[in-house]
Structure 1
Amino acid sequence: MQKLKRGDIVLILVVLLAAAAFYGVKWLNERNEHFTQGELQAVISINGKTYQTVPLTKEEQIIDIKTKFGHNTLKVYDYGIEMTYSDAPLPIALDMGFISRPKQQIICIPARLMVEVVNPDPSPDDKDALDAVI
């Protein structure tokens, strides 16, 4: 087996630093999105179509969803949302936990269900927002 030479180590460090810088900038941009608690909403989609839009409030609210694809239960509390029940064979969506920040998602593939936290009034400097419609 060959030993790593000085140039190999430098190349590995440069690649790792570039990756860290890329993800660091992305992480900081996500953290700098301005919103106040209570203005966010969760958009619940089933099979690609909007099923319900729920405001994320402090009060507890249970949303029971029964479709031909499956049965899921969502719980809204403390300005966020969490999946508490899924009858999927592998309930991976339960492990996605509590979400409360814009662009976070819970996805249950067998039930064809997606929950995404959105900011109905995004900041003007939001890079993902549309700036024109043709």
Structure 2
Amino acid sequence: MKRGDFLLILIVLLAAGSIYGYRWFQNHNEHYAQGDLKAVITVNGKEYQTVTLTKEEQVIDIRTRYGHNTLKVYDYGIQMTFSDAPLPIALDMGFISKPKQQIICIPARLLVEIINPASSIDDDDALDAVI
């Protein structure tokens, strides 16, 4: 490898690191008050229910033709407490309480994502890929 190869690798790594650092900084500086966040529950790509994350305990039982799951809302967050999937990996995802965190159960085609409705950043218009 020549000096130019090392320089090119260094530039690419610095660019990737700065982009990652900017996104990390942007996500961790999002301001929200407890009780403002919501959890969007999606089954098979369609919105099933939107739940406000509160301190009070609430149990959400989801029975679809894809499976049976139970979610528990408490302490301004949400956690999956039951899944009838062959490998219940979603149970290991634990308690989530910050924007953009997710719980995914692939056999049940279930996605739980925390959103901040008051956020000024609209990720739906964000760039996904460049061709």
- TM-score bracket for the superposition, by shorter chain length: 0.7 to 0.9
- Larger mean CA deviation between 45-54 and 69-78 belongs to 45-54
**Alignment partner, residue 13 of structure 1:** 10
Amino acid of the structure 2 residue aligned with 1:107 = I
The alpha carbon displacement at 1:116 in A equals: 1.2
The alpha carbon displacement at 1:86 in A equals: 1.2
**Alignment partner, residue 129 of structure 2:** none
**Any conservation in 2 of the 1:122–1:129 contact (CA below 8 Å)?**
no
Amino acid of the structure 2 residue aligned with 1:73 = T
**Alignment partner, residue 87 of structure 1:** 84
**Alignment partner, residue 74 of structure 1:** 71
The alpha carbon displacement at 1:12 in A equals: 2.7
Structure 1 gap ranges (5+): none
| CA displacement 1:57-77 (0-9 Å, x = unmatched) | 122222221221101111112
State the identity %: 70
Provide the rounded CA distance (Å) in 1 between the counterparts of 2:18 and 2:91.
Answer: 31
Structure 2 gap ranges (5+): 126-131
TM-score normalised by the chain length of structure 1:
0.80
Provide the rounded CA distance (Å) in 1 between the counterparts of 2:94 and 2:42.
Answer: 18
Amino acid of the structure 1 residue aligned with 2:67 = G
**Alignment partner, residue 50 of structure 1:** 47
- Larger mean CA deviation between 76-85 and 18-27 belongs to 76-85
For the residue of structure 2 that corresponds to 1:37, the secondary structure is coil
Q: State how 1:16-31 maps to structure 2 within 5 Å.
A: 16-31=13-28
| CA displacement 1:79-117 (0-9 Å, x = unmatched) | 111112211122222232222122222121211111111
Provide the rounded CA distance (Å) in 2 between the counterparts of 1:115 and 1:127.
Answer: 18
For the residue of structure 2 that corresponds to 1:83, the secondary structure is strand
Provide the rounded CA distance (Å) in 1 between the counterparts of 2:47 and 2:123.
Answer: 20
Provide the rounded CA distance (Å) in 2 between the counterparts of 1:98 and 1:8.
Answer: 45
Aligned residue pair count = 125
Amino acid of the structure 2 residue aligned with 1:128 = D
Provide the rounded CA distance (Å) in 1 between the counterparts of 2:122 and 2:45.
Answer: 24
TM-score normalised by the chain length of structure 2:
0.82
The alpha carbon displacement at 1:45 in A equals: 1.5
